[in-house]
Amino acid sequence: MNIDEWQDLKFGVIIHWGPYSQWGVFESWTLCQEPDPWCARPAQWADDPAGYQKAYEMLPETFDAPAFDPGSWAASCAAAGMKYAVFTTKHHDGFAMYDTALSEYKVTNTPLGRDVTREVFDAFRARGVSAGVYFSKPDWHSDDYWIRDRPHPDRFANYSPAEEPARWQRFKDFTHGQIRELLSGYGPVDILWLDGGWVREPREDLDMPALATEARSLQPQILVVDREVHGPQEAYRTPEQTLPDEVQPFPWESCITLGPMWYTAGPDETYKSVTEIVHLLCRVTVRGGNLLLGLGPDHTGAIPDAVHQRLAGIGAWLDVHGGAIYGTRPIAPFERDGLLFTAKDRDVYAIGLLAAEQDLPTEISFHWPGEKPERVDLLGVDDAVAWRWQASLDTHGSQMISVTMPKALIEHAYVLALRY
């Protein structure tokens, strides 16, 4: 797809999952000895990083996941209104969630014994959802990235590629080879979402121009994302767990988790509410971005019921109000008088965010710098709304639109459609 088509999609899902889900720990990061809280090991290994790494790397031996059902994942995400899915084919720990021929550290060598990536992509495509490959550029399992008999105190390769060029060339060939597998044997892939932004030139040069060129030769429609590098191979930017304050002049996507983390920690996990996600999606959209919502199945392979419930609630709102989201672009004044504005063709949408249990206001008034619309509708309500156009200009050259709101039950956010 091209970047305009991707910007039209607005809402996607990124799914992190792997053997680490059996412990409910951070994906990969507990292998890293940096002082950040997400790198903290479980208490019994707090002072034994080598012992922890050995135990962590044995997790595939018990990875069974009897409830793994990618069809249910895809059905729930599609019903939520998600248009593209990015699946973690390999995170920093180096464990491949697909049947790579270049490593034995892979999901088909576990008790689960299934090519998870293939099944996930097939299930999502069957629901009309585009497939995207998440792939980690670093690989902490590879002896050509983290050499086993040398300390690896941080996320970087624990040797100098300039001083050991043959070793680094092996790693580069291995990385290119695994990406080639994913882009030549798993059907149409619309996004290559490369993580691990510290793997970049000059120190850890993977020859991104060559990698991106090959990716596009294998999948001509693909968007290549070299996260955090902000170079020529980054089709769009990907702020994590945040969103910009203003409209951005470039394509972008916020990747934000439904729960506290990218993984599911256990049955007592807490999640953002439907209202929070709907509001987040609206705020991202009005700033010109896409929302990539992060979630993870539990250790059995099931998406928790609480996640399914939230996805259903988001989808119910989008079924009625999606016209104000999909295919739109920001329009000035973007945010004003408590409303968020998007536009598509000859329609302008004014989105009002509602707090939980909040009733619709009886009247909405806002300044509008454009022409007088032909009509004003409230999405999801069949009855016509009464509105008036006040011709007096304010100091910003705007005129006032006032809308008398009907008595109607609308959850999360309402949308006024200004038709021209």
pLDDT in tens, 238-289: 999 999 999 999 999 999 999 998 988 778 889 999 999 999 999 999 999 9
CA dihedral 21, 23, 28, 33 (to 10 degrees): 170
User: Is pTM beyond 0.85 here?
Assistant: yes
Backbone angles phi, psi at 274, to 5 degrees: -60, -45
Q: Rg of the chain's alpha carbons, rounded to an integer?
A: 24
pLDDT in tens, 310-357: 999 999 999 999 999 999 999 999 999 999 999 999 999 999 999 988
**pLDDT number for residue 249:** 92
Q: How far apart are CA 291 and CA 281, in angstroms?
A: 6
Contacts of 339 by beta carbon, 8 Å cutoff, 6+ apart = 350, 351, 352, 364, 366, 416
Amino acid at 9: L
**pLDDT number for residue 117:** 98
Q: How, if at all, do strands 347-353 and 386-390 pair?
A: unpaired
**pLDDT number for residue 279:** 98
**pLDDT number for residue 268:** 82
Backbone angles phi, psi at 24, to 5 degrees: 65, 40
Block mean pLDDT (10 aa), the chain, length 420: 97 98 94 95 95 97 98 98 98 98 98 98 98 98 97 97 98 98 98 97 97 98 95 92 94 96 84 98 98 96 96 98 98 94 97 94 93 95 92 75 94 97
**pLDDT number for residue 391:** 77
- Tokens (6 digits) for 364: 């909405």
**pLDDT number for residue 393:** 66
Closest C-alpha among 123, 124, 130, 126 to residue 10: 130
- Tokens (6 digits) for 351: 């989105």
For the purposes of burial, counting CB atoms within 10 Å of the CB of 332, is it exposed (0-12), middle (13-18) or buried (19 or more)? Answer: exposed
